[in-house]
Amino acid sequence: MTHRRPLAPALRAPLPLASGAPLASLVLLALLMPLSGCGRGTSGPTTTRSATVALDEASFPPTRRAFHGLQLDDPRRESDRARLFDYLDAVGRPLVAGDDYDALLEHFAACTDLLIPSDYEQGRVPASLAPVALRIVELGSPRGDEGPVLGALEVLRRIVIEAPQDGGRSAEEQYQQVAEWGRTSREALPDFMQRYSSLIDVWEVHARYSASPSVLDTLAQLHIDRRDFVLRAASETGMQGLLADYPPSLPLQIGRIAPIDVVAVYLRVGDVDGAIRKIREMGLRGRTEAQLLELLQAAQGRSTAGAEALVQLAEAYGRSRPETAQGICRRGLRDYPRDTRFPECLANVEATAEHFEDATAWYVVAIALDPENRSLYDEALAQLNEFIERGVFDEDPSSGRALTAHARRLLEERRRRFPSSPAPVTVAQIEFLAAMVELHGGNTDGAREHFLASLEAGPLNDVLREFGILETRLGNAAPAAELLRRALDHTLGESLEVNVQRAGLLHELGDAFHVARNSAQAQRMYRQALDLYDAALPQLSAQGLAFVQARRGVLLSKLGSPDAARAAFLAAVDASPLDREPYMVAMMQLTTATEDVALMRELYRRALLNLGLPPEWKVYFALWTQFVAQRAGEESGEEIDAVLARFARHTPWYGRLAAFGAGEIDGAALAAAAATAGQRAEAHFYAGARATAQGRVDEARAAYDAVFATGMVNYVEYQMGRALVEALPGSEGATP
């Protein structure tokens, strides 16, 4: 997802081309081109595509990495770029048809990342990028999102040159209009720094999406203009009052920062020559300019000194401007294909962006160049710890599988070359990672296989806990209890952290006994967990208090104390009102157990008021609240109905869920719209919940069984479905 800097509040208004004939005319022109998401048709010369296999999800990342390592005059760039665009084209079609603006921007950036500045001037911008660009203009203009809209129009004006025959404005005219509006609309801002800085922010985003030579020069000149204005204000009589609200050091600071910013504009695309040209135009006013120019001139030539200069530049920019470091290191990769420092640099950039599969792959490239460098192995393997600790896995396991495959090869090679030196990551940890990747992809058999392999390599508490939870959710009470007992035995000590961990394990062990229909043991485990949480309360921070109180509420509900559970849930959200997690925990329990409609509505209102909820979570919370109300024989209420009706107009998956909640589609239509196992789990759950509320028991049970068949055990809908199916009349056994 693309994160964009917000515009100045006064400028958060629709752009001047948000509606009307000009946009419609360009849409018509785009329809005359090959309709696609990011295709490879060009408005200029083309070459014959080589007979190569089409890319897929697995082959796209390594092909893209190899592409960025090719010399700019390498003939393979043309065929590889065509294959990359063909793949992105297929990915982009549903995004163009939908209204997920952030996903569309992310896709657009992936497409234009394959272009170099000269492509814009040589007629090499793919014509079938037009539908993506037009959709960004259509969605971004009403938002006042200048940077992406300018980026899209820059692409369009390189493709659609002539004005439409109906008299509408050409892409060139629209581009100039938005660019001019951005400047003139800021002239009224009283703060000169805000005028310059907000415009620079817009053009930085613009350059991120379409780095043509003219865009780079404009952005660099804005940095220079800001510097010159500040220096003039500091020296000329009558202007010094403009700096009254700023520290006296501002002119010195701006003077030092400006050349660094200007050079970064060009190095982000690896353009050393452009950086040298612009730094000379600025004038060598101080040490910063002189030092940068010296490094840039060294980097210009292909030599040992040139490689060292690029490394120094990458290190200088890496921490604060990773995108600039990436551009520098891509240049280094092309110029010095045998130098390990450049793939290592790219690995660090990808790791900073939490692209762990790409990071590990770049380490593999570096290690292939220098297989006796133990520190490279250790850096690569250490990334796994961060990935595991992050605990966020994709439903699609392909990237995670690639990561673990890289990790296994690296670990095996390291052990072969350095047998007496312990590695920073063990086989047990890699197998645990592989298990979690499969688990989040719905492959429970594969997850179990890797959990067992991890335990065979060495018992890890995280493995015992997650494996135990999996077996509980699958209804396998005996192995679940055994695994969780072993985890408890390994969780030793008297610290606050240990006691909270033990409380969580006791709670999970109680759930395992609950599944085994051993109510007495389950209740005993729940009480022991509650006692540990109670003892921890005085020692907790606000965030820790929210975490513990939410879980106290769940335990109190399971122990049959609804009033105490209500108090704990409210205490949780009071402790951390801006954190989504305590709301989610409380509302899940209210959905599956305690029938407290008033509390459910209260939590929903608070969540909407206090949280910057993404649209999908507004829909999920609305559906849960709707179910709780309908189960109690009440109407959903105007607030819920309005939210669901509003989001039912949205194209992403949450829009289909909202349409179901609003009564616009039925359960069968919702299931038919599901494209992934996770979406199918959600579709069947919400259909089952509606059937439950309406007393259609057989239909509800069939829907919940369909949820379980997806294997998506880590989805909250799977977990809530387990509880709701056991509460149906005629059901046997119990679930947590």
Give the integer Cα–Cα distance in Å for 477 and 562: 26
Give the integer Cα–Cα distance in Å for 88 and 82: 10
Position 474 scores a pLDDT of 95
Query: Phi/psi at 138 (nearest 5 deg)?
Result: -65, -45
Is residue 686 within 8 Å of residue 657, measured between CB atoms? yes
Q: What is the DSSP letter of 248?
A: T
Per the listing, tokens 């072993």 go with 486
Residue 87 forms beta bridges with which residues?
none
- Nearest residue to 208 (alpha-carbon basis) of 136, 140, 112: 112
Position 300 scores a pLDDT of 93
Position 222 scores a pLDDT of 95
Give the sign of the dihedral formed by CA 523, CA 527, CA 529, CA 533.
Answer: positive
Label residues 139-172 b or e (16+ Cβ within 10 Å = b): bbbebbbbbbbbbbbbbbbbbbeebbeeebbbbb
Query: Phi/psi at 649 (nearest 5 deg)?
Result: -80, -5
Give the integer Cα–Cα distance in Å for 344 and 156: 36
Give the integer Cα–Cα distance in Å for 269 and 295: 17
Give the integer Cα–Cα distance in Å for 508 and 103: 37
Is residue 23 within 8 Å of residue 149, measured between CB atoms? no
Run means of pLDDT, 10 residues per run, the chain, 736 residues = 28 50 40 47 40 81 94 93 94 88 94 96 91 93 92 91 63 91 87 87 96 97 91 73 74 89 97 96 85 94 95 93 96 96 94 85 92 90 73 74 86 92 90 92 95 92 95 96 96 92 97 96 97 94 92 96 96 93 95 89 92 87 96 92 93 92 96 93 97 95 97 95 90 52
If one counts every other C-beta atom within 10 angstroms of the C-beta of residue 615, the result is 16
Tokens describing residue 377? 């192995």
Q: Give how far the C-alpha of residue 35 lies from the chain's centroid of Cα atoms, to the nearest Å.
A: 27
Give the integer Cα–Cα distance in Å for 309 and 300: 9
Is residue 399 within 8 Å of residue 408, measured between CB atoms? no
Residues in the chain: 736
Per DSSP, the three-state class of 42 is strand
Radius of gyration of the chain (CA): 29
Tokens describing residue 729? 């009349």
Contacts of 559-562 with C-beta under 8 Å, sequence gap 24+, read: 559/523, 559/526, 559/527, 559/530, 562/594, 562/596
Continuous H helices in 425-541: 427-440, 444-457, 461-473, 477-490, 496-515, 519-536
Give the integer Cα–Cα distance in Å for 685 and 708: 9
Position 29 scores a pLDDT of 39
Give the integer Cα–Cα distance in Å for 14 and 21: 16
Continuous H helices in 34-144: 60-68, 76-97, 101-112, 117-121, 130-140
Tokens describing residue 476? 């396998």
Please give the full DSSP string across 127-196, using - where no structure is assigned: GGGHHHHHHHHHHHTTTT-HHHHHHHHHHHHHH--SPPTTSPPPHHHHHHHHHHHHHHTTTT-S-HHHHH
Position 412 scores a pLDDT of 92
What is the number of helices (H) and of strands (E) in the chain?
Answer: 36, 0
> What is the 3 state secondary structure string of 561-630?
CHHHHHHHHHHHHHHCCCCHHHHHHHHHHHHHCCCCHHHHHHHHHHHHHHCCCCHHHHHHHHHHHHHHHH
Measured CA to CA in angstroms, residue 302 lies from 328, 346, 354, 510 at distances of 14, 19, 32, 66
Tokens describing residue 3? 């994160």
